[in-house]
């Protein structure tokens, strides 16, 4: 029974951490792409409305990527509490102290979207 719990915890960890990192990379890449589009429009001396719809969609995609990253952070927090609930110690399925979220956002200090950061 304990071996199955340890195996399950390891399996989740081995797939979740790469997914979390990929979501972070997706948010970075989407935001960088938006910035590049805005800078390219300006450097080409194009009218400010040129490519507006594409830029608006890119902005929305970047905001959604940041929100998805937030969901991964929230999931990570909940996953971190599961070992204790199923009778495991963190070291039984793999130490993650260097990888785990150590600081949580609360209230107004936790941005919910790109608009909140801007």
CA dihedral (113, 52, 25, 69) in degrees, to 10, reads 20
Residue 51, phi-psi category: left (phi > 0), alpha (psi -120 to 50), beta (remainder) = left
- Whether the model clears a pTM of 0.75, i.e. scores above it, the answer is no
- pLDDT tens-digit series, residues 81-113: 887 777 777 654 444 444 454 444 444 444 444
Helix 52-85 to helix 2-43 angle (10° resolution) is 160
Give the C-alpha separation, 47 to 93, whole Å. 56
DSSP 3-state assignment of 40? helix
Q: 47 is written with which tokens? A: 């009218």
Per-residue pLDDT reduced to its tens digit, 40-84: 999 999 999 999 999 999 999 999 999 999 999 999 888 888 877
The stretches of 44-117 forming alpha helices (DSSP H) are 52-85, 90-93, 114-117
Select from 21, 29, 36, 38 the least CA-distant residue to 61.
29
pLDDT at position 5 is: 84
């Amino acid at each position: 029974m304990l071996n199955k719990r340890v195996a399950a915890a390891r399996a989740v960890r081995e797939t979740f951490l790469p997914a979390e990192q990929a979501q972070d990379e997706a948010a970075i890449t989407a935001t960088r792409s938006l910035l590049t589009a805005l800078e390219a429009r300006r450097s080409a001396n194009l009218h400010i409305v040129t490519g507006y719809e594409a830029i608006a969609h890119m902005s929305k995609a970047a905001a959604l990527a940041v929100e998805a990253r937030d969901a991964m952070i929230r999931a990570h927090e909940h996953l971190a509490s599961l070992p204790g609930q199923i009778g495991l110690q963190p070291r039984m399925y793999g130490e993650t102290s260097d990888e785990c979220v150590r600081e949580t956002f609360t209230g107004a200090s936790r941005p919910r979207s790109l608009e909140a950061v801007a």
